[in-house]
Amino acid sequence: MSHFMGELVGYLCGVCTTIAFLPQAIKAITTKNISGLSPYMYVIYCIGLIFWIIYGTYLHSFQIILFNSITLIFNGIILYMIIKATIRKKKTVKK
């Protein structure tokens, strides 16, 4: 595989995996409904994305850094919403 083809495949992988989380992020943000979403999955996934970014930095791979950073933002927003809702729910139960 040529260098160009390798780079192209890297960008296509990044675009596809990043876009895959976009509908979930848009739905969660617009509806404010995060019921049924696992906070553990989002914590683990965000940690994995951070390690991908570190790995991409080590490899000097712009695609890995770029697309995992974007995906981390989407997942971080959803995780923030989950944590915020959990805290709000616990405060409501205590009253």
Tens digit of each residue's pLDDT (9 = 90 or more) over 55-77: 999 999 999 999 999 999 999 99
Torsion sign (Cα): 8, 9, 10, 11: positive
Q: pTM, whole model, 2 decimals?
A: 0.86
Radius of gyration (C-alpha) of the chain in whole angstroms? 16
Per-residue burial over 41-74, b if 16 or more Cβ lie within 10 Å, else e, is ebeebbeebeebbeebeeeebebbbbbbebbbeb
- Confidence tier at 36 by pLDDT (50, 70, 90): confident
Query: Rounded mean pLDDT of 16-33?
Result: 90
User: Could you tell me which residues come within 8 angstroms of residue 37 by beta carbon, excluding any fewer than 6 positions away?
Assistant: 28, 78, 82
Q: Which amino acid appears at position 67 of this protein?
A: F
